[in-house]
Every structure is written in structure tokens, then in C-alpha cells.
Structure 1
């Protein structure tokens, strides 16, 4: 197991370096001057040069990349051009809010997706299977930003059961673990959970159907094993793949929540990225993308390790 873990860690290091290089390159390939948002129209050439030196834009791209990586390794992601605050502080606060939202959405999607998938897999080609499969396909197909607006209209504007936006009362960005703040999490979490629910349901349904058709299940039935015992064997065999899918979905939700966070004005990483893009705030954009990408890489590593613990065949291979 130690050798397996060490091998995964070694594979992760070049991936992290490649991700950092792609983040840096894509941001700098975008057209436009990043200092245009803070420079006055009549700014002198001397002032422009001073600001370029201050943010390091006067150096070559390889020099900027090496300096950025070196600072990032020491926890310094630079200073936001638009706000003047430390990028690390803004990104950590925003990623923390997105992580809360993504974890709740993944748990909801995994719970209902697994339920629909197991039911559909056990009752193949029945009306239960068709209903569960239809729900899964609908969840994957419906645009989540549209669903978010529909939920806001129904539950906020008409029924007035849940708040429409923000992370706290009055649109506050501060988070507290109480119902007054938790209710702001309900609508965006449900909206985000729809796509993972559909993907997990379809994956689990295919897994369960394949496992039930294997010879060892026939042997277990012939030995007189109860339905509960067979169900436990099915869960044990389906768990590694289902867990991998859940981990990937959590990673996708961390980085792909821009539209949902914009619809609900949720102060997360997606909302921060949206602001950084429109303000052309390169340090903030680079820092946010780097942190989210590293989260995804580390999450894949954790999923690989947990899969190895659940299924020793993966470690031996």
C-alpha cells in the first residue's frame, strides 16, 4: 500500500506543474492590458512603467512564471489589481464558500443518484427502471442555471420559503453554522446536485446491472444467500467506481459553479472568477484557477487512495 501511495504521489507532481503552466499560459494569452482597469485614461508612461514593475509585467513570461510559482509555493499568490488585497485571502475565503456548496450538492446528488441507480439496476426493464432512468437523463439535460432561476421564482418569489441570494441575511457574505445562514445554501445546493445525481444514477445503474449478471451472483444465490447478503456484495463491488465518479463530480462542481454562483450571488470561487474575468484582474484570476485546479488534482489522488483501500485489486495492479 505504501508503494502504491508513493507511486501516486510521484505521478501527481508533474501533473501539478503542468496544471500551473496551463493556468499561467491561458491567462496571459488573453488579449488586453491587465492594468487598464486601474490606470487613468491620462496616465503617464512613467506611471505605467512603475505599475508594470510593481506587478512584474515588465519581465519575460518565463521569468514571470518562475517567480509566480516560487511565491505560490510560499503561500503568496500576489495582490489583486482591482481591490489591492492579497489574492490568497480572497481565494481561500471564496473557495471555502464554494467547498461548502459543492460538498452539500455532491452529498445530495450521491444519495439520490445511488438510490435511483440501485433501484433501476435491480428492477431492469421495468417501469421503475424507466422512471429512474428518465429522472437521471432529465437531471443531466436540464441547464442548471435555468433550473436555479425557476427554483428562485417558485420558492423565493411565490412561496417565499427560502432566500433567493447571498450567503447570509441581507446578502451578507459572512457564513455562520445556523439555520438563518443554512437556508441560503438550500436552493443553490439543490440546483448544483441535479447533474451529479443524473451522472451517478446512470453509472450505478450500469454497474448494478453488470454485477447482477456475473456468475458469482448466480453462485451466491445457489448457496442460498439472502437478498440482503447479495445486496451487500453488489454494494461492495460497485463502491470503488461510484466513489471515483463522486470524487470527479465534486471536482467539477468546485470549478464549474460560475453560473450557479452568479444566479444566486453566492460569494464563492465561481463568483470570484466571474468578477476577475470582467475586471481583467490577472493575479486574482491566476490564483483562483490554480487553487481550484490543485483541489481537483489532490481530490483525484484521495479518490485513488480510497479506491485502493476499498478494492485491493487496484493496489496489486
Structure 2
């Protein structure tokens, strides 16, 4: 087991390095010159050279990457071109706001999606299976930004029971989850953000449970006289590794935040930060945000792999 854990950690290292290369390459892949946002139109060649030297753009690309990676390892992601603030502060604040959404979106999507899938998988072909499958297809098919706009029109414009945009009446600095005047700003974005994961988890769990129920060992358990509840527990345990893999991906999606969802609700999270960085060509913020979110995906998948091996020891032997 220890060898499996060490092997999975070693596999994650080159992936993280590859992610850092891609994030650094955004400077040269993105169209336009990022310095255009800070340089006046009539800037002289000398001024341009000074600014390039300040941001390190005058050095060879391999040297720039090594310097940038060394700073990242110490927690220095550079300075935002737009706001002149440290990128680490911009990213950490945005991630904290997105994490606030995840605190509610993750349990909602995981428990509801998993429960729907289990019910549908235990009663394949029945009306409850058709209802859950239909609801899951709708949840996956409906664009989340469109759903967010519809929810805003219905609950914020027509009935005026929930706020449309923002993060609390006093902004993010004064947000208090214990006060309904602040907490109600979470309702619409949480529902919108959780809709797609609910559908994906419901379909995945339904397929995994139905597949395990058709295996020979289930018939053997019934032949031994086990109750249907005991058989279901064995089915759910054997279906869990496949479901956990999808949960890990959806957790990364939720923590990464949806650019469109956070833009619709003007929620100052990681997705909204990415959107502004793309519009403003703020490459340091773009690099830092994508790097942090990508590393979250890598770590999440690593944790899921380890949890899968604990649930099903056969995985660690492969």
C-alpha cells in the first residue's frame, strides 16, 4: 500500500511540472502583447525596454521559465498588470469566495446526485428510474449560464425574493454567512453551479450500481440468504470506486468555479477572476489562477486514487 501511495505521488510530479509549462506558455500563446494594458500609446522604445526588463520579458524564454518557477515555488506569483497587486492575493481571495460556493454546492450535488443514482440503479426499468434518468439528462444538457439567467429573471426580477448579483449587500468584505441578508446571495449561484454535477453523478452512479447488480457475486449473496439491504450495501461498496473518480473531477470543477456562472452572478470567485484576466490580458493573474486550479485538480485526483485503493484493495495491486 505504501509503495502504491509513493508511486501515485511520483506520477503527480511530472504532471504538475507539465501544468506549470503550459501556464507559463500562456504569455506567448495568448494573442496580443500583455504590456499594452500598462503602456501608453506614445511610449518610447526606452520606456518599453524598461517595462520589459521590470517584468522579465527581455530574457530568453527558458530563463524566464526557470525564474518564474522558482518564484512560484516560494509563493511569489508576480504582480497583476491591471491592479498592481500581488497575484497570490488576487488568487487567494478569489478562491476563498469560490470555496464559499463549494461549501454548499459540493454537498448538494454529491448527496443529491448520488442518492438519485442509487435509487435509479436499484430499480432499473421502473418509473423512478425513468424519472431520475430524465432529470439527469436535463441537468447535464441545460447550459448553466442559461439556467442562471432564467433563475435571475424568475426569482430576482419577477418575484424579487432573491438578489440577482453580487456577494452580500456590503460586498465581499462584509459577507456574513450567518445573516440571511448575506446568505441569500448564495442561493441562486449554488443551485446553478450544482446542477450539472448532479446530473453527471446521477447518471454515473445509476450506471455503476446497475452494472454491479448484474454481476454473479450478487446472485451468490442472494442465494446465501442475505437480505436485500445487505446485498445493496455490497453493491454500493463495489460501485463506489467508479463513482468516486467522477466525484473527484466534479469537485475540481466546482472548486475551480465556472467562469460563466460567476460572471452571470458577478460573484468574485476564481472563475470571475479568470474572466477579467482574459479580458484585460492580465497574464500574471491568468498564469497564477490556472496554475493553482490545475494543481487543485492534480491533488484532488491523487486523493481520489488513494481513497479508491482503500475502498477496493485490488486497485493498489495493479
Which TM-score band (shorter chain)? over 0.9
Shift of 1:177: 3.1
Bigger shift: 289-298 or 214-223?
A: 214-223
Quote the residue 1:93 is aligned against. Answer: 93
Residue 158 of structure 1, CA deviation = 2.1
Q: Distance in 1 between matches of 2:131 and 2:198?
A: 14
1:252 Cα offset (Å): 2.2
SS at match of 2:161: coil
Tell me the distance in 2 between the aligned counterparts of 1:41 and 1:27. Answer: 21
1:103 shift after superposition:
4.4
Structure 1 range deviating more: 138-147 or 228-237: 228-237
Q: 2:148 is matched with which residue? A: 148
Per-residue displacement from partner, 1:31-82 (whole Å, max 9, x unpaired)?
2111111111222222211111111111121111111100000000000111
Is 1:282 aligned with 2:283? Answer: yes
Distance 2:242 2:24 in 1: 33
Shift of the 87–174 alpha-carbon distance from structure 1 to 2, 3 Å rule, reads farther
The equivalent residue for 1:250 is 251
Q: Deviations over 1:137-185 (max 9, x none)?
A: 1011000000001111112222222221122114445543323332212
Aligned pairs (5 A) from 1:113-128: 113-128=113-128
Instruction: Tell me if the contact between 1:165 and 1:171 (Cα under 8 Å) persists in the aligned partners.
Output: no
Task: Tell me what 1:17 maps to.
Answer: 17
* Aligned pairs for 1:80-229 within 5 A: 80-172=80-172, 174-180=174-180, 181-229=182-230
Q: Aligned residues, how many?
A: 317
**Aligned match of 1:237:** 238
In structure 1, the gaps of 5 or more residues are none
Which secondary structure does the structure 2 equivalent of 1:36 belong to?
helix
Corresponding residue for 2:58? 58
TM-score (ref. length: structure 1): 0.96
How far apart in 1 are the matches of 2:35 and 2:133? 51
SS in 1 for 2:148: helix
Q: Secondary structure at the match of 1:300?
A: helix
Partners of 1:283 and 1:3 in 2: CA distance: 38
Q: What is the distance in 2 between the residues matched to 1:136 and 1:112? A: 11
CA apart distance, 1:27: 3.7
Structure 2 residue aligned with 1:294: 295
- Aligned CA RMSD, in angstroms, stands at 1.5
Say whether residues 1:261 and 2:262 are aligned partners: yes
> Contact between 2:241 and 2:308, CA under 8 Å: does it hold in 1?
yes
Alignment partners' CA distance in 2, 1:129 and 1:78: 52
Q: TM-score, normalised by structure 2?
A: 0.95
Unpaired segments of 5 or more residues in structure 2? Answer: none
Inter-partner Cα distance in structure 2 for 1:190 and 1:92 = 24
Partner SS for 1:35: helix
CA distance in 1, matches of 2:267, 2:249: 22
- Give 1:26 deviation, angstroms: 3.2
Q: Secondary structure at the match of 1:169?
A: coil
How far apart in 1 are the matches of 2:6 and 2:227? Answer: 41
- Alpha-carbon separation, structure 2, partners of 1:91 and 1:60: 27
* Whole-angstrom CA distance in 2 between matches of 1:43 and 1:269: 33
